[in-house]
Amino acid sequence: MQRGVGIGGSAWSPRSDYLSAIDELYAGVARELRELSDSVDWDDTDLSIDGRIAMEWGERFAAMNQEWARWALEQIPERRA
């Protein structure tokens, strides 16, 4: 398995690269959802309420994936080549 040095001097591997990509991907998803939410003129109609519920699910899903990827990165032990 190829190894090197990653961000902050931590051990790099395809596994940590994958987890970092998940973290970055869902950070972007969360940012896009916030921007979308900020651009909508929410009101008390059923469509607006359902939209906010769906938006909240997306934000929570993105946060969960980001949190999991960061946790998983912390679980990978550093190894010296």
pLDDT (0 to 100) of residue 12? 55
Looking at residue 81, the DSSP 8-state letter turns out to be -
pLDDT (0 to 100) of residue 11? 55
pLDDT (0 to 100) of residue 51? 96
pLDDT (0 to 100) of residue 1? 40
**pLDDT tens-digit profile, the chain (81 residues):** 444 444 455 555 788 899 999 999 999 999 999 999 999 999 999 999 999 999 999 999 999 999 999 999 998 877 655
| C-alpha torsion sign, points 36, 31, 33, 59 | negative
| C-alpha torsion sign, points 70, 74, 80, 81 | negative
